[in-house]
Amino acid sequence: FFLRRRPPPSSTLARSRAGSEVYKRQLRRAVIKVESNFNSGAVSSKGAIGLMQLMPLTAAALHVLDPFDPKDNIYAGAALLRRLLNRFDGDLSLALAAYHVGETRVRQTLGTPALPATQLYVERVLSHYHRFRAESHQTAAHSRTRESGGEAFLASPRGRE
């Protein structure tokens, strides 16, 4: 006799996936904040272009026709981040370092390169990422309370006093 676990309700799966999408969106926002400060026309002194500061060869490899187009730039930058996260087994710091200085340099040093600019870059992206995630949680919690007509407040012990 085998017990079969019930699959989670689709609403739970949807929330789980939506939560994961929120984190991905916040990571993209953090990278964009540090890379271009949300300026789609940004061009670095090294030639990186657009919101996520794609190098021209990287943009071409990712089939981006117009790296200044925000949608294409973000799509390609997100694909690159996803690939780097996979290559570095989900290690966000290593993936961000590789996004900044290149995968080869990170692999050669077997970790985040001891370059002050790269270390600062990783710290700044992670700082913004954590802040954006916290803001997202606060907004979602506030929204749920408003949607429930304040039921969360009323259900709390203080709300009944």
- Catalytic site positions: 35
Backbone dihedral region for residue 64 (phi beyond 0: left; psi -120 to 50: alpha; all else: beta): beta
Element (H, E) at 100: helix 92-101
Residue 115 in tokens:
């370059």
Site of tokens 């309370």: 145
